[in-house]
Chains A and B, each alone.
Chain A
C-alpha cells in the first residue's frame, strides 16, 4: 500500500487512459491527482478533451488523432513530476446546514447504539469535523469525503437500501457522503441537508468540487423547512468561504 514510485498509465479503450498514483486512499495521492488535473488545465495540453479526478487516479480522455499514446504519456509523466499539492489554488470551505435525527436522519439512533454514544453526541461529533472532498461523482454532485472522528467509524449497511433520499448526510467506514439524488446506498443516514447538491434546472447545477472542504451546521426542523422552501425557489445560497 502506498504511493507508487512512478505513476501507472492504464489504457481505458481508444479514447482514455487512467493515471494512477497510489493503491490507497490518502490526501497525498488525491492532492497529486487534483494537481495533475490543474496543471493539465493550466497548460491546456493539446488533445486532452476531459478529465475525471477520483481518490488516487485521474481519468484522462483524449483524441488520439491529435495526440498519440506515447506523446501523451510522455507529457503527462513530465507534469506528474510537478504535480504537488502546493501548485493547487487554496481550497474553498462550503457550509452545509444539516438537520440530524428524526425522520430525516433515520439511522442516527441505530448508529448511536452501535458506537456507544448518545444520538446528540453522534450528531455533535459529526457536525464538529472538517470534511475534505476527494472527488465528486458516481451520481451528479455526490461528494466522497473523510474527516470525521474515528469514534464514528461504522461498517456499511449489511443490506444496502433500495432508496436513499437526496440530501441524506450519511456515513460508512471512515467516509461521509451526501446523496445528491435519490439512489440506492449502503451508508447510514444521520441527517439531511436542505441544500441542493445537484439542481438540474440551475445554470450551475453542481455545488461541490473536488478539493473543497465541507462543514456542517446543526439546524432544527423548522430551519430545515425554511431553507428547503428557499432552495426550491432558488433563493438560498450556502455560505462559501474563499481564502
Chain B
C-alpha cells in the first residue's frame, strides 16, 4: 500500500485538511491549517483538491520516506527542503520516487510549513474531516502530532505537472506584517483611546502561542468596564483582550465560546499571516469596515485563483 513513512517528526507535525464544518456548535473547533493560503496553494501545486489532507510542520520540519512515485510541494515557512540531500525548491511541485527521503530543516523565517502529496493523506476522518485537533485528541493520525515510525496511507495518486507559485504571491516572512481588523463584536467595551491603541503601535508575538491562539504583547488596551462578558461565540481571528490589556488572536483550534471581551476580528485572508509571525517578531493592525473587508476578500480569492503558473 502507498504510504508515507515518518523518519523524524519534528516538534509538531500534524495531518490537516481544510477543517471541520458545523462542529463549533458542540464545542469542537474546525482545526485545519493555521495558514490556509499556503496550505491550499500546496494542494493546488500537486493537482489535489483544496481540501485534500496534507501536513503542517511547526518551526522544524519532518523527514519522510515515500513508497511510490508522487508529486510533492512544500509551501509556508522558509524551511530548507532537501530530497536525498539535494536542495529542492519551495512553492513549486516536484516529483519523488519510491525510497526518496524528503527533509524540511528549521524555519529561517515563518513558523508553519505545509507539505502536499498528490493523492493526499488517507487517514480516518472524524466528524467529516481529517484535520488534527490536538487538545481534543481528534482526527488526523490517532488524534496527535506525528511521531517517528508512523506510517500514513496515501490516497490514489492523481496526475501532477510542473507548477510553481508566482513570485509576487510568495510572502516574505521576515517582514513585519500589517493585518486587517474589523472592530467588534465588543469594541464598545473599550475606551476610544483603547480602541485607538490597538491600531497605533505594533504588537510582539510571544512564545505562549499555539494553534489555539496567538498571544501578543504591547501597549495596554484600555477597557471601559471590566473584561468579562456573558459568554458568546468566538469567531476565527477574534482578538480577545483580558484584564492585562494584552491581545490574543484566536486561531483554528480556538475555544468555541468565551467570556472575555473581543475588541475586533482579524480578517480571514490575513489570519494565516498572523500564524507565520515568530515569537519576538512584530505585527501591526489596520482598521477596516465590513464592506472594505468583503472587497479585500474578493480580490484575495481572485489572486489565489491566479496564483499558480504552469510552465509549458
Contact = CB atoms under 8 A, between A and B. Distances in A.
Task: Check if A and B associate.
Answer: yes
Interface string A25-54: 100000000000100000000000111111
Main secondary structure of the interface of B (DSSP, over half): mixed
Interface stretch (A74-82, A120-128, A204-212, A231-239): A204-212
A118 interface: no
Contacts of B298: 65
Contacts of A102: none
A14 B231 contact: no
B291 A65 contact: no
Contacts of B266: 13
Contact of A138 (B143, B185, B257, B297): B257
A66 B255 CA distance: 27
B227 to A, nearest CB: 15
Interface in B228-273: 230-238, 255-258, 262, 265-269
B182 A14 contact: yes
A55 B236 contact: no
A90 interface: no
Nearest to B139: A200
Contacts of A56: 230, 232
A157 to B, nearest CB: 15
Nearest to A143: B27
Interface stretch (B40-48, B130-138, B159-167): B130-138
Contacts, number: 149
A18 B186 CA distance: 10
B299 to A, nearest CB: 11
Contact of B235 (A16, A58, A64, A180): A16
Interface in B93-140: 126-127, 133, 135-139
Given A13-B266, A49-B21, A206 B27 contact: yes
Nearest to A208: B26
B283 interface: no
A94 interface: no
B22 interface: yes
Interface in B179-208: 182-186
A103 interface: no
B294 A181 contact: no
A98 to B, nearest CB: 20
Interface string A131-152: 0000111111110100000000
Nearest to B180: A14
B129 to A, nearest CB: 12
A240 interface: no
Contacts of B26: 136-137, 140-141, 206, 209
Contact of B293 (A14, A61, A205): A14
A190 to B, nearest CB: 21
Interface residues of B, number: 48
A106 interface: no
B184 A12 contact: yes
Given A11-B184, A13-B182, A138-B257, A69 B294 contact: yes
Interface string B17-29: 0000110111110
A50 B30 CA distance: 11
Nearest to A134: B231
A52 B127 contact: no
Pick from B135, B231, B237 the residue with the most CB of A within 10 Å. B231
B290 interface: yes
B231 A50 contact: no
A160 interface: no
A56 B21 CA distance: 22
B69 interface: no
A121 to B, nearest CB: 30
Contacts of A58: 233
Contact of B24 (A24, A50, A200): A50
B198 to A, nearest CB: 14
Contacts of B232: 18, 20, 54-57, 59
Contact of A140 (B27, B230, B269): B27
Given A50-B25, A139-B135, 10 more contacts: A13-B182, A13-B236, A14-B293, A15-B235, A37-B25, A54-B232, A54-B257, A59-B234, A137-B257, A138-B255
29 contacts: A11-B182, A11-B184, A11-B185, A12-B238, A13-B236, A13-B237, A13-B238, A13-B266, A13-B293, A14-B268, A18-B233, A37-B25, A50-B22, A53-B25, A54-B230, A58-B233, A137-B24, A137-B233, A137-B256, A137-B257, A138-B27, A138-B256, A138-B258, A139-B136, A140-B27, A181-B135, A181-B136, A200-B138, A206-B26
| Shortest beta-carbon contacts, A-B, top 9 | A59-B233, A13-B265, A10-B185, A12-B235, A14-B293, A52-B233, A137-B257, A206-B26, A200-B138
